[in-house]
Structure 1
């Protein structure tokens, strides 16, 4: 196998997206389009990936990091001009160069591998990735000779009636002999209406030299979709979501309604987990075996251990242990750690807190900036009062403590082991271990008050 390189075209502004966000950074199932492309190319084991960047170059570099080498296309003068920016890195190297666009997030490493294999098997100098389109309008048509090799690529405006009936189209992804590519690019002109240098012109140059130009037809037209506007972005999202959901179902995950379940490309899910409709798994989510997630639940950048049930709730940037029950209508905010066998019920909010094994907050509580031990019980309406308007303060509740209904713990404060805070108390001082703390006014009954004030 010869050396393999990849050039990813990611310099276009994407004006049709009508967005402040650089086009190739628009996400598909939670991952930027260009990151999908880089990840699939990385799976091929290429020696070097080069991203041609332009508008938004620094933001793209921040996203892709050091996996990729960068060259800048200062002026947008066409695809051929874009590839030429990589000449200083590649033109003297022997091997095969894969050229593809950063706005084709649905291309898979399997298809790209087959394209490379076809290129080498045919001993071709150029191989075009093609697809069969139901409606090929607007695409360049692939015209093959009797041996199945590419005779030419005809653009829609230049095609005859017979050529217009051809449904095999050019997807804009290519394999090139690297030496030929950069030699031919020097011969590409810009004598056209747009004044641009077009990469497909390399094919004509190769043909005139008598070189072999081959084509590999992928079975999936939708995989080749290039995203140029929000409509195509939505189409790519739909295809990718279906692909992701089908993958996890084949791995042993039950998805009740795949059309209404949204799983990011970075998520991981264990066997025998059940996901109900309206669930969103966003970013780096890791769900263990035997969980029940949803309906109408949002998990983002969080780890959920096996056997946990989360219904109609939100969990962000947090860790949840084994056999935990969360919801309905609970909110686990960032930097929270929920231990095993914990119960968090309806309308409970946890923020930047740790709850130990077996603790319970079953309803209508706020636990913020707190360290909570094991087997602690929060009764209805309990609150850790963590903010004085300027600073946040910490509450510590040790193992086995019981916090009564509508109790307010004014941080910084500590409740010791096995201590009990009486219902309705506002606690401003530490509660010793095994103590009962009552902090409320004595009840006063004024008899006959109503009659005296309504005579």
Structure 2
């Protein structure tokens, strides 16, 4: 973050409010889902932004909505006030709609955009601190210098960071467009100044809209200083308006997260094929093979191996665990220390005890497996009767033979053995053998007679 102005001083306990603009229709997304609710790393982009802003402990949060406001109301609940912009007459008009929600508020206002989700808390804090510098700017603008300025609005500033003028691209001259310092749209303004300045904004411009940037020009004409600070990471102010831009943002986020994972002590065999969620937590000496996907809610302890093509969500893996390849861990899964889940094993709301194993082709749902138990290939816990879920409890050191169906609710005791191919509907006591099969029928020579008869019929048919 750079600023050539007077050094900023951190404000002492000045209340903060955030105003997030999210009233756009998002037509380029071509989606029934509100644009700012589209996820990146498993989290709606709006939630990324609000989480970063929360680091500054705002007293009030206002989201300005228009199209799809019901979705925003449902997503936000009581965490933010919803101000409605209808009709939508520009960014200045949008911020004006927050005036009622900020009635009686005396403090700083940070203006953010719901489709610009990755503004860092440090950047927001720097804007507020600059607002309280000794030269007391009326407005602080966050600028950036992209590789290609495209059609961004321009910030025409002096070397000391004071703004001479701001202009939208459509209204700019060729000389003004030659300036590469662009307007991110983010601003910090004292509440005592904000709505008074907005009331003076007109719409005599190429779009006939009320531009938020005009509050800077109005304050400047009134003899008040306005300042720009410049982010050193243009990506943090990148807006998302289309599916392609959403994918690009996801890619940038994932790249940074992979680098962080490796810096923190994890081994990623093919980093570009691993996808993390916003809240994935990894310990040290974790090895992640190619094509692994983390959905939200996963915590991985030290010395864990995650083999290729595994998918994890809402799962906790303790130290020494190994899973996969082709394992699926669903919400509520807990793998205790040194347990193992192998290929084509699915777990949901289940605990695999310390040192226990389910090596292949198994489903464990609504189950508790004791330490040291062995779950044979093809075993399933039949947890759903069509109306309710039921629990299966498997004791320590129990051995469940291959292709067994444990029909819940059922309990298998410690050291018990369930023979392969059994369908168990009643509890099995500690140390007991349970074998549930039909009687095996043996007819010597029957197969030979069958083959002879069938060959004769086939020959007669083909003659």
Task: State TM-score, norm by structure 2.
Answer: 0.88
Deviation at 1:452, TM superposition (A): 8.1
SS in 1 for 2:111: strand
Q: 2:35 aligns with which of 19, 23, 33?
A: 23
Partner of residue 430, structure 2: 417
Partner of residue 46, structure 2: 34
Deviation at 1:236, TM superposition (A): 0.8
Native 8 Å contact 1:342 1:359 kept in 2 = yes
Partner of residue 214, structure 2: 201
Deviation at 1:206, TM superposition (A): 1.0
Q: 1:309 aligns with which of 322, 337, 340?
A: 322
Q: How far apart, CA to CA, are the structure 2 residues paired with 1:415 and 1:270?
A: 38
Partner of residue 106, structure 2: 94
Q: 2:229 aligns with which of 216, 219, 223?
A: 216
Native 8 Å contact 2:373 2:395 kept in 1 = yes
Partner of residue 15, structure 2: 3
Matched, 1:396 2:404: no
Q: 1:336 aligns with which of 332, 336, 350?
A: 350
Show CA shifts across 1:239-262 (max 9, x none): 111222223333322223222111
SS in 1 for 2:421: coil
- 1:355-434 equivalence runs, <5 A: 355-369=369-383, 370-384=392-406, 386=407, 393-409=408-424, 411=425, 413-422=426-435, 425-426=436-437
Matched, 1:277 2:299: no
Show CA shifts across 1:334-358 (max 9, x none): 3222221110112111122221111
Deviation at 1:26, TM superposition (A): 0.1
Show CA shifts across 1:412-451 (max 9, x none): x2111111123xx33xxxxxxxxxxxxx314332346624
Pair 210,416 (structure 1): closer, same or farther in 2 beyond 3 Å: same
Q: 2:444 aligns with which of 436, 443, 446?
A: 446
Show CA shifts across 1:21-66 (max 9, x none): 1110000111000000100000112222211223332322332333
- 1:106-255 equivalence runs, <5 A: 106-121=118-133, 122-255=135-268
Q: How far apart, CA to CA, are the structure 2 residues paired with 1:307 and 1:84?
A: 56
Matched, 1:287 2:285: no
Moved more, 225-234 or 323-332: 323-332
Partner of residue 84, structure 1: 96
SS in 2 for 1:143: strand
Native 8 Å contact 1:106 1:236 kept in 2 = no
Q: How far apart, CA to CA, are the structure 1 residues paired with 2:170 and 2:69?
A: 34
Count residues in correspondence.
Answer: 430
SS in 1 for 2:259: helix
Q: How far apart, CA to CA, are the structure 2 residues paired with 1:4 and 1:40?
A: 14
Pair 383,151 (structure 1): closer, same or farther in 2 beyond 3 Å: same
Native 8 Å contact 1:91 1:179 kept in 2 = no
Q: How far apart, CA to CA, are the structure 2 residues paired with 1:415 and 1:358?
A: 17
Unmatched segments (≥5 aa) in structure 1: 387-392, 427-439
Pair 394,216 (structure 1): closer, same or farther in 2 beyond 3 Å: same
Partner of residue 429, structure 1: none
Show CA shifts across 1:99-140 (max 9, x none): 010111121112211222222225211111111111101111
Deviation at 1:72, TM superposition (A): 2.4
SS in 2 for 1:128: strand
Show CA shifts across 1:384-439 (max 9, x none): 2x4xxxxxx42221111111222222x3x2111111123xx33xxxxxxxxxxxxx
Q: How far apart, CA to CA, are the structure 2 residues paired with 1:310 and 1:274?
A: 11
Task: State TM-score, norm by structure 1.
Answer: 0.89
SS in 2 for 1:327: strand
- 1:26-65 equivalence runs, <5 A: 26-65=38-77
Q: How far apart, CA to CA, are the structure 1 residues paired with 2:80 and 2:441?
A: 71
Native 8 Å contact 2:171 2:205 kept in 1 = no
Partner of residue 386, structure 2: none
Q: 1:298 aligns with which of 277, 291, 311?
A: 311
Moved more, 111-120 or 320-329: 111-120
Q: How far apart, CA to CA, are the structure 2 residues paired with 1:4 and 1:260?
A: 41
Q: How far apart, CA to CA, are the structure 1 residues paired with 2:249 and 2:313?
A: 21
Deviation at 1:18, TM superposition (A): 0.1
SS in 2 for 1:352: strand
